[in-house]
Structure 1
Amino acid sequence: MAAKKPQMPRYDAVFRGDEARVSLAKLLWKEVIAALEEVSALSRVNLARADRYVRAKVEFEALYPGGGRGGPGDARAERGRGVQFYLVGRREVE
């Protein structure tokens, strides 16, 4: 018996009224499911993880468009300062 194909969550209802988010969610879902199928890792737990990942990724892209494009260096350059982390804590540097 063939394995049942995973059912895509109803992203139309989740992101109601925002077609850009709906289409991005559907695209991401298909990519994630294809990757899971490729490594034979489809399970209920991984499907739930995939759904949470897709929703979070879509929300992040809506809130911070291009956030990952420039990388962290650009944001520090805008503020004119950086942050250094040490084993005992962190401190701001000029």
Structure 2
Amino acid sequence: MHLSGALHDLPAAVSVALYRIAQEALTNTMRHARNVTRVHIDLAGDVDRVRLVVFDDGDPVAANRPATGFGLVGMRERTSLLGGTFLAGPNLDRG
């Protein structure tokens, strides 16, 4: 995990949402990713915004797999409620 920027003054709602989104991302990695040896979490913030990036080094998987739960939906809703944007999917090479 890598933290950078001004993260100490985040509103409680933002801090909780970031925690829950990271937690769900890790859960999704454990459930769905294949041959993962490392997961990286990068959290960076400044006065106006915060960015959370979670990625793993697992084998590529199809982006069009059928959804089996509500994890991505919940992460998207949490982000949207706070005025943010959400993107999830496979990397071009791994993860």
- TM-score where L is the length of structure 1: 0.35
Q: Which has the higher strand share?
A: 2
Higher relative contact order (CA 8 A, sep 6+): 2
- TM-score where L is the length of structure 2: 0.35
